[in-house]
Amino acid sequence: MLNPFSIEGEWFKGNLHLHTTGSDGKVTPQEAITSYAAHGYDFLAITDHRQVTEIDGLDHKGMLMIPGIEMDGGQTDLNGSYHMVAMGAKGPMSYDSGWSAQELIDYGNENAEFVFIAHPYWLSLTLADMIDLEGYIGLEVYNTTCHYGVGRGDSGPHWDDLLARGKRLYGFGVDDAHFGYADAWVGYTMVKAEKCEYDDIIAAMKAGNFYASNGPTISNLQCDGNKMLVECSPCWEIRVVCPLPGRGTTTYRSGHKPPFTEVEFEIREGTDPIRIECIDEVGNKAWSNPMWLSE
Ligand SMILES: [Zn+2]
Ligand SMILES: [Zn+2]
């Protein structure tokens, strides 16, 4: 079973989607790095549109910097385009915006470490747009700029649609900050790894050893038989989300009053996979990755 809380290592905080003056962001790459370091981040990826922004020669302020790019192209059901984030670019990348979504993913996998789909809800992506694509490891379950800009930052149901049909996908939390308004230092990905070094962080993300958040902290998840223990920062609601019809449960059924910091749920047989959502008093949320209990 995938559970980063059951393995050795430390937790590191990062943002994997960010724009600078390398594309349509309002701050320089150095200013972006300095600001994220000042907010306590351990790693950061600059993912400008259509180019891998140079990060060598900049002061990384003690953070691990991961080169990346946001690629757009293909055609969706509603005549929009896809946005794909390629993480760990191995050099400059240039692609043709006439390429299909699958060609963008394939190109990303050849020229970077892995690819995830950016902001599906903001792009109005449907299940039909994503179900046949192969080779991406996940999607942005939370995107700050899409939340603050248009109120569509949480792509949980898009993720569940794919999980329900057997896709093994992870959910990233990102800012997609452009610094045009207060869209930085909110959505993040917490990665469990031995060290905050390039190979460790990339391998941990590829293995799904992380969770997403825009506020709450998940401190422990443990499954024992049909019991699921969740420990987190004080939350007003905790959900055990299962993408299958009618499955899942929440703290509303427990009879207890919030705040919750430790809850044990009983999981009905056949409720698989599950993922945990922890929601605090003001509606901020943390999203675990899916756990396939039968494995
Ligand atoms: Zn985008
Ligand atoms: Zn973006």
What separation in Å is there between the alpha carbon of 222 and the centre of ligand 2? 34
Per-residue pLDDT of 156-190, as tens digits, reads 999 999 999 999 999 999 999 999 999 999 999 99
CB-facing half-sphere around the CA of 236: CA atoms within 13 A: 8
Per-residue pLDDT of 105-157, as tens digits, reads 999 999 999 999 999 999 999 999 999 999 999 999 999 999 999 999 999 99
pLDDT > 90? residue 97: no
Q: Which ranges of the chain would DSSP assign to H, the alpha helix?
A: 29-38, 101-111, 127-130, 144-150, 156-164, 198-207
Residues with CB under 5 A from ligand 2 (ion): 70, 176
Same fold, 4-213 and 218-288: no
Q: Which ranges of 64-183 would DSSP assign to H, the alpha helix?
A: 101-111, 127-130, 144-150, 156-164
Domain positions in the chain are 4-213, 218-288
Mean per-residue pLDDT, 222-244: 96
Per-residue pLDDT of 187-220, as tens digits, reads 999 999 999 999 999 999 999 999 999 999 999 9
What separation in Å is there between the alpha carbon of 53 and the centre of ligand 2? 13
In this predicted structure, what is the pLDDT of residue 2? 86
pLDDT > 90? residue 295: no
- The correct CATH number of 218-288 out of 1.10.287, 2.40.10, 2.170.130, 2.60.40 is 2.60.40
In this predicted structure, what is the pLDDT of residue 225? 87
Q: Predicted confidence band at 1 (pLDDT cuts at 50, 70, 90)?
A: confident
Architecture (CATH level 2) of domain 4-213? Alpha-Beta Barrel (3.20)
Per-residue pLDDT of 253-277, as tens digits, reads 988 899 999 999 999 999 999 999 9
What is the distance of C-alpha 66 from the center of its chain? 15
What separation in Å is there between the alpha carbon of 19 and the centre of ligand 1? 10
d(CA 205, CA 105): 17
Q: Which two tokens stand for residue 118?
A: 């950016």
